């Protein structure tokens, strides 16, 4: 197994799931408070699933969220279920219900992936999202590619170690020439999705991965041990500045003590 670039990965362990979500929410609010003062535009990539929604709900409970200049924060999604706009499975809809609908932020700051009733195909939705990403490209940074460098990229991790809709041993994990791709026959329902590719995720300044429960312990252990990202996608997630895993005690069973950061 490769050990390249593993030294910048740290693990923040909390006692239980609720505490994990609170810790992530607090840290995100603190970071966005600073960034939204320093910069005219701040880019955040959100994730779906239970962890992603729980973090957003926890942010809504943070007193400090009022200190963030939300008008400067642009929200993106690392993946989306290719379902109709009003489908309860849609990540963007869940995010609006949990937090985004409460924010004083303009609609143009919400960069949603097109729904199935707003596009001709998942491929068309992926191409449209790539075009939208390119509008905010860090053009003065050739390494960043034709997409923004997210200040924070929030990712959930599945028991199979998938991130976004990049699943183990599938072709999407190896795509490097596009910002977003369609996913068919996803091993997790719903079967059709759109996902960002690994180069976009890894152009992020900070990648924060959130996982809880004993069923995630093996995935976390493999990711930290430097397993092949094609088989363990979470192993390939790496921020340009920092990579943090936020986990509970159950998920941390296989974490080396030297990688644990105090909160």
Residue with tokens 């790496």: 238
Query: In this structure, how many other beta carbons lie within 10 angstroms of the beta carbon of residue 263?
Result: 12
- Average confidence score pLDDT of the chain: 95
Q: pLDDT band at 4, cuts 50/70/90?
A: very low
Q: Provide the CATH number for the domain formed by 10-254 in this structure.
A: 3.40.50.1360
What is the SS3 assignment for 65? helix
The reported pLDDT for the residue numbered 237 is: 97
**pLDDT tens column, 54-82:** 999 999 999 999 999 999 999 999 999 99
The reported pLDDT for the residue numbered 167 is: 99
The reported pLDDT for the residue numbered 135 is: 96
pLDDT above 70 (res 1):
no
Closest to 206 (Cα-Cα) out of 163, 154, 246: 154
The reported pLDDT for the residue numbered 6 is: 46
Q: In this prediction, what percent of the chain has a pLDDT beyond 90?
A: 92
**pLDDT tens column, 110-164:** 999 999 999 999 999 999 999 999 999 976 554 557 999 999 999 999 999 999 9
- Report CA-CA distances (Å) from 11 to 126, 170, 182, 185, 233: 32, 27, 31, 32, 17
Q: pLDDT band at 2, cuts 50/70/90?
A: very low
Q: What are phi and psi of 61, to 5 degrees?
A: -90, -5
The reported pLDDT for the residue numbered 145 is: 72
The pTM is what?
0.94
Q: In this prediction, what percent of the chain has a pLDDT beyond 70?
A: 95
Residues with Cβ within 8 Å of residue 94, at least 6 apart in sequence: 48, 52, 53, 88
């Amino acid at each position: 197994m490769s050990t390249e670039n593993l030294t910048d990965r740290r693990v923040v362990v909390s006692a239980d799931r609720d505490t994990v979500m609170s810790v992530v929410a607090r840290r995100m609010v603190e970071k966005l408070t600073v960034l939204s003062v320093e910069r005219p535009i701040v880019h955040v990539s959100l994730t779906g699933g239970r962890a992603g929604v729980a973090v957003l709900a926890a942010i809504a409970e943070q007193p400090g969220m009022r200190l963030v200049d939300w008008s400067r924060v642009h929200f993106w999604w690392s993946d989306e279920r290719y379902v109709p706009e009003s489908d309860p499975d849609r990540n963007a809809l869940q995010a609006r219900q949990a937090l985004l609908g409460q924010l004083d932020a303009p609609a143009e700051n919400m960069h949603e992936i097109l729904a199935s009733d707003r596009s001709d195909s998942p491929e068309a939705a992926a191409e449209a999202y790539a075009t939208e990403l390119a509008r905010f490209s860090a053009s003065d940074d050739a390494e960043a590619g034709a997409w923004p460098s997210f200040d924070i990229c929030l990712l959930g991790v599945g028991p199979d170690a998938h991130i976004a809709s990049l699943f183990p041993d599938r072709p999407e994990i190896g795509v490097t020439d596009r910002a977003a791709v369609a996913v068919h026959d996803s091993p997790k329902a719903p079967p059709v999705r759109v996902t960002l590719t690994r180069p976009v995720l890894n152009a992020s300044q900070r990648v924060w991965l959130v996982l809880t429960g004993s069923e995630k312990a093996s995935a976390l252990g493999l990711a930290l041990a430097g397993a092949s990202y094609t088989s363990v996608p979470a192993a390939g997630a790496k921020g340009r500045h920092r990579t943090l895993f936020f986990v509970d005690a159950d998920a941390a069973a296989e974490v080396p003590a030297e990688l644990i950061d105090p909160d």
